[in-house]
Amino acid sequence: MDRIKIHPLILLSLFINAIAMGMFAFENYKENDIGYTVTFMIICLFLIVLTIYGLIRNSKIDHTNK
């Protein structure tokens, strides 16, 4: 079965959501809500890792198809 590339708009939305989670974490950090800060930072890092994985996966698929 052929591997299918992840659509660039999905990767863009993952990155935008990661930025939003980072902003929520920063706002909660200013309000001294450490629990929410840690939660949103974990979600932010997870979304960034997914975005990087998608970019690497797409580039590998491009190289194998050529």
Cα distance between residue 11 and residue 17, in whole Å: 10
pTM over 0.85: yes
- pLDDT per residue over 9-64, tens digit each? 999 999 999 999 999 999 999 999 999 999 999 999 999 999 999 999 999 998 88
pLDDT reported for residue 15: 97
Are 58 and 9 in contact by the 8 Å Cβ rule? The answer is no
pLDDT reported for residue 11: 97
pLDDT reported for residue 57: 95
Reply yes or no on whether the pLDDT at 1 is more than 80.
no
Cα distance between residue 11 and residue 18, in whole Å: 11
Are 37 and 28 in contact by the 8 Å Cβ rule? The answer is yes
pLDDT reported for residue 65: 81
Task: Give the start-to-end residue ranges of the domains of the chain.
Answer: 8-61
Cβ neighbours of residue 43 closer than 8 Å, sequence gap 6 or more: 21
Closest Cα partner for 52 from 60, 63, 40, 41? 60
